[in-house]
Amino acid sequence: MNIQGPLPLSDVSAAAPASELVRRARSAMEAYENDDQRRVDMAVRAVAWSVFKPENARMLAEMAVAETGLGNVESKITKNTRKTFGTLRDLLRARTVGVIEECPDRGLVRYGKPVGVVGAICPATNPAATPVNKAMMALKGGNAVIVAPSPSAYGTTSTTVDLMRRELARSGHPQDLVQVLPKPVTKEATGSLVDQVDLAVVTGSQNNVGRAMKSGTVTIGVGAGNVPVIIDSSADLDDAASKIGQSKTFDNATSCSSENAVVILDDVYEKALAALERAGGWRCTGDQRQRISETLWVDGRLNRNVIAKDADVAASTFDLPEAAKAASFFMVEEHGVGQAHGFADEKLSLVLTVYRAADFEESKRTVRKILEVKGKGHSVGIHTADMRNARELAADTDVVRVLVNQAHTFGNGGSFENCLPFTLSMGGGTWAGNTISENLNYRHFINVTHLVTTFAEDRPSDEELFGPYWETYGK
């Protein structure tokens, strides 16, 4: 690797405590022209280009897979480019600094202002895409950001930060707008960072989210994924199977939006399974199901020899037949929703749990039971030609997102074909113990001042407000 330019942060701050990083971040914010939307947008473009640049996108993807052993290179290249490009599109369409909205008829002017120094805790599953995604949003709000990497992905994340810093310097912005927590990244070091920043944004394990939420620092955490998807009687089965297969296998199922279970209505069950087999699925026998169960979890933890591994590696580890090594994912039929460390749980692997439901009511109940095991608040999907079923599922299920006829991994975190903002961090609302019930986006990185002037009085009569109550219950 040959990167030309200013000395990387990782070389100049190896012993810097969190307090020094925060001090440098605040100095960078003072020098950042963060009251000028055009300059802010150029800084965001610089950070985006540092990873979108084809050779960098590939280099970071290769580093991530080599360092963590999670996922696959081509998928990570797609994450590094598609998520960055989509997020940049969203950000460049928004005003975030200075006057961001004027409503003369309401006597209102809104001003966007920075939240301050952001601490961005990032996972091993997306050690390049997530830091850049959060940095883009933070800088869009006029802030500085300090990235806390996963210890198992430090090399990839620190290199990502170095690239962002270099591009910022090239475009005339303070490098210290983006910094990385130096080695060794421990719970204590990350906790110290969280304690001293103005906003902590945590993606990754629920332990990290929980610790940050208890810190006293304003924290945005996201919930665990464990996406169940319904295939109803009206669905285009081959289209549904193709989308589920593509989504399930993307980056070897490392995404929190990857389908973990599919619930199929009884009258199309066998046809849907046949379609899933055509899409690359291997239908496990009872004995094979048992071997997967005994291998996927070891002492109550997911087996690192299986999670996020290529299909042929997983098939060998599960001791599946030779023919299974040619499959893309493995379908395990389940009859009841068990507890944690069972097939209803998140699997982070190419194992897809399949449930059979007598009717649509039972399919909804099964989905809700799965989400009680893990993933409540996050997301569900449905493949259907009947929007009444989609609306009913949305009305009856405690999740933030219900995707209709979409590959979940490609739609949940934003798409060029749906309205969700591009992100790698999905809030699950209070159902998941989160402060946000939407995709993380630029609005979470700004404070807003409201300039309020008067307009013609808007005061309804007593009758307008109380009339219906008086008519029903009397005065």
Pairing of strands 117-121, 199-202: parallel
Q: Is 167 helix (H, G, I), strand (E, B) or coil?
A: helix
SS3 406: coil
CA dist., res. 434 & res. 442, Å (int) = 17
Which one-letter DSSP state was computed for residue 326? G
CB atoms near residue 427 (< 10 Å): 24
Are 205 and 187 in contact by the 8 Å Cβ rule? The answer is no
3-state secondary structure of 383: strand
- Name residue 399's beta-bridge partners: 377
* Residues with catalytic roles: 256
DSSP one-letter code for 93: T
Helices H / strands E in the chain, number of each: 18, 17
Phi-psi region of 341 (alpha: psi -120 to 50; beta: other; left: phi over 0): left
The end-to-end CA distance of the chain, in Å, is: 79
